[in-house]
Amino acid sequence: MQDPLTAAYLEILRQRVLEPEGGFAGHAGGGYRADATAWAAVALEAVGQRSDWLTLARGCLAAQQLADGRVSLSPQHPDAVWPTPLAVLAWHQARDYREATDKAARFMLATTGRHWPRNPSLAYEHDPSLKGWPWISATHSWVEPTAMAVMALRISGCGEHERVKEGIRLLLDRQLPGGGWNYGNTKVFGQELFPFPESTGVALNALRGAASPAQVRKSLDYLHSRLKEVRTPLALSWGLMGLAAWGEGPAAAGAWTKECLDRQARYGAYDTVSLSLLMAASRAPQGLESVFAVRGKS
């Protein structure tokens, strides 16, 4: 018997599955998107729906994987490599995709953004010499793609690799002095920038078990305060998973999720990524990586 949240999610996915090839669109009537397909696969696994949708979604991601291991946003945008770690998350529970996962891991370990020595005279204060991962090939490393790569490589068995350790150092370097993260800048011309709940949640998931509670205390406090008023899907889902990753998931999480979903009646249906993240968050008692620990590999 499906709970109402799962049943509603699956009904929306039904309108976005691409047949007969499989995979998912970002919205009803839209075309295939790698990110939507990957997050839908993660959510389907999280809620125990090992259906043809899940099998075909994983297959679509593997079919799109290039020879060097990357999974790009689309064939027209091969340098938009940020869906690569998302594909690893989607494949993680399935034995048939170990080779694809290994190829993706090798690509991530061999890939970095543009970096240069730190210069105190520049307007920004983060350390640009630290190597993480970019959204787009040959651009600078930023918080969210670095955090996703760290998590994907960790569940792939590469958690002790030096690239992962440096990615963790980058995330700690990009944490705002007052707590939280944004896209990846801390201060510009001496002014501290604002944090984002979604960026903070992604970073906290990646730092679970890799940093001390004292190192992220201000960021956890920021989320506790900010989520009381946030009801947008991306910010809420990542914010909840960020707190859950550190054992501080709020008691009101279920009620907040319902409030967020109810807002679709006013603003329209959320995109596939946002809905899938909300579903994953509802099944992530200790953050995103716990989704993969709850169910065994198939």
What's residue 169's pLDDT?
98
79 near 138, Cβ under 8 Å?
yes
What phi and psi values does residue 192 have, to the nearest 5 degrees? -70, 135
Q: Domains plus CATH for the chain?
A: 4-294 (1.50.10.20)
Q: pLDDT tens for residues 214-250? A: 999 999 999 999 999 999 999 999 999 999 999 999 9
Q: Is the pLDDT of residue 295 over 70?
A: no
Q: Hey, what are 254's tokens?
A: 């279920």
Reply yes or no on whether the pLDDT at 254 is more than 80.
Answer: yes
For residue 275, pLDDT beyond 70 = yes
- The confidence band for 293, taking pLDDT boundaries of 50, 70 and 90, is low
Residues near 139 by Cβ (< 8 Å), separated by ≥ 6? Answer: 113, 114
Whole-structure pTM value: 0.95
What is the band of 112 on the pLDDT scale with cuts at 50, 70, 90? very high
Outline where 111-188 has alpha helix (H): 143-155, 162-173
Query: Looking at the predicted structure, is the pLDDT value of residue 1 above 70?
Result: no
Q: How far apart are CA 209 and CA 261, in angstroms?
A: 31
**Percent of the residues in the chain that have a pLDDT greater than 90, as a whole number:** 89
pLDDT of 271 above 90: yes
- Spatial distance between the Cα atoms of 18 and 92, rounded to a whole number of angstroms: 22
Write phi, then psi, for 24 (nearest 5 degrees). Answer: -135, 150
Are the C-beta atoms of 171 and 156 separated by less than 8 Å? no
If pLDDT is split at 50, 70 and 90, which confidence band does 93 have? confident
Helix 272-282, helix 4-14: angle, nearest 10 = 160
Which one, of 116, 139, 136, 119, lies nearest residue 128 by Cα? 116
State the chain's mean pLDDT as an integer.
Answer: 94
CA angle 269, 220, 5 (to 5 degrees): 30
> For position 294, what pLDDT does the model report?
46
For the record, the structure tokens of 83 come out as 């869906």
Does residue 14 contact residue 6 with C-beta atoms inside 8 Å? no
Residue 187's SS3 state is: strand
> How confident is the model over 161-172, as a mean pLDDT?
98
Q: What pLDDT does residue 296 have? A: 39
Rounded Cα distance between 96 and 105, Å, is: 16
